[in-house]
Chains A and B, each alone.
Chain A
Amino acid sequence: MIVCVAVVGHQNNPLYIQSFTDADDALKLHHIVHCSLDVIEERVNNPKRSGTTLNEAFLGLLYPTVNYKVYGYLTNTKVKFILVTTDLDVRDTDVRSFFRKFHAAYVDAVSNPFHVPGKKITSRTFAQTVSNIVGSYGLN
């Protein structure tokens, strides 16, 4: 089950954070998202010598904590998507297709002429689309 998704801009400024679980965990989830930014930086700056392609957008599992797994995705414009999930067995294809749909929703939200780049995404449509994507995650 997905508990949190976040969009972080290229200066590590949060653009969108949404948690899908009870309110008391929200701060902890924000903290987890914040820590994962360091992992992303480190992954991007020191490319792994083994198999993983240097330039792929999907970064894979960033780091597992006690209850959560954190997945990352870095776009060409240095915008980072973070996904926090509590699932024990997570299929790679599910996460990849989640990020693909999420990226499409993000692009639509940013193309809004009233959106100021660098500020938080306030579009209700985006929030609705994200909830739909989260809802349909792993169902197929």
Chain B
Amino acid sequence: MGREVAESCVDTMLMEMVAMYSARFYANKPELAARRIEAIGYQVGHQLSERYTMERPRFSDHLEAIKFICKDFWSEVFKKQIDNLKTNHRVKYFLEIMKFLTNFSCVCFSPMSLQGTFVLQDNKFRWLSRVSIDPSSEKETEDPSTPGESKAAQAVSMYLYFPCGIIRGVLSNLGIPCAVSADISSLPTCSFVIRVKA
């Protein structure tokens, strides 16, 4: 029912969006550019979630929604599924020390709050497939090796704000407020860290 668009158009549009916001609209203010791009992603994610959850029954809990993102949503948008999903439920323990009548102290634990962190790992993220991996610059340049590396990493990270915004938009439309960030320590593998707000 929908019309089709060449994928190169999507790639070009994404590159141009990042270039526009980083170089023209918010030149020298990368944080503002990042925030703006992420907001665009948020709205897109919002609308995409309406479309892709249309045929499905409702989700019963957060994990189902995350699994939906890993499987159906990722294959609709990126033509593949997430390769690895890790969760890191952290439970805060409340320490209660009670003193009994005769100098006994009893310690009991009870879980107080549950905070979910999900890590979605994509081993070949489609929108970064054309980004060149910086050949190791430690050998050539000694001094600017660290800032040089971070400049390349910073340039790549600008391209990840949009998909982070998309994921955040999808989750908040499903009723799960969260914060999403991306981790590119090893290209082309890309990990998205979702921190669900309690």
Contacts and interface: CB of A to CB of B under 8 A. Distances in A.
Contact of A55 (B46, B51, B57, B175): B57
A78 B58 CA distance: 9
Contact of B57 (A53, A77, A104, A106): A53
Contact of A111 (B50, B53, B174): B50
A77 B59 contact: no
B60 A77 contact: no
A16 to B, nearest CB: 14
A107 B51 contact: yes
B43 A76 contact: no
Interface residues of A, number: 20
B50 A110 contact: yes
A76 B56 contact: yes
Interface in B133-180: 173-175
A56 B46 CA distance: 21
A53 B60 CA distance: 11
Interface in A35-89: 53-57, 74-79
Contact of B60 (A54, A74, A107, A110): A54
Interface in B31-85: 43, 46-47, 49-51, 53-54, 56-60
A111 to B, nearest CB: 5
A103 interface: yes
The prevalent SS among residues of A at the interface is loop
B68 to A, nearest CB: 9
Nearest to B169: A117
Nearest to B49: A77
Contacts of B43: 113, 117
A23 B60 CA distance: 40
A10 interface: yes
A111 B56 contact: no
B98 to A, nearest CB: 36
Contact of B53 (A53, A54, A77, A113): A77
A137 to B, nearest CB: 20
A74 B56 CA distance: 11
A56 B47 CA distance: 21
Interface in B73-119: none
Interface of A: 10, 53-57, 74-79, 103-104, 106-107, 110-111, 113, 117
Which 8 A/B pairs are nearest by Cβ-Cβ distance?
Answer: A76-B53, A55-B57, A55-B58, A77-B173, A111-B47, A107-B51, A107-B50, A110-B50
Interface of B: 43, 46-47, 49-51, 53-54, 56-60, 173-175
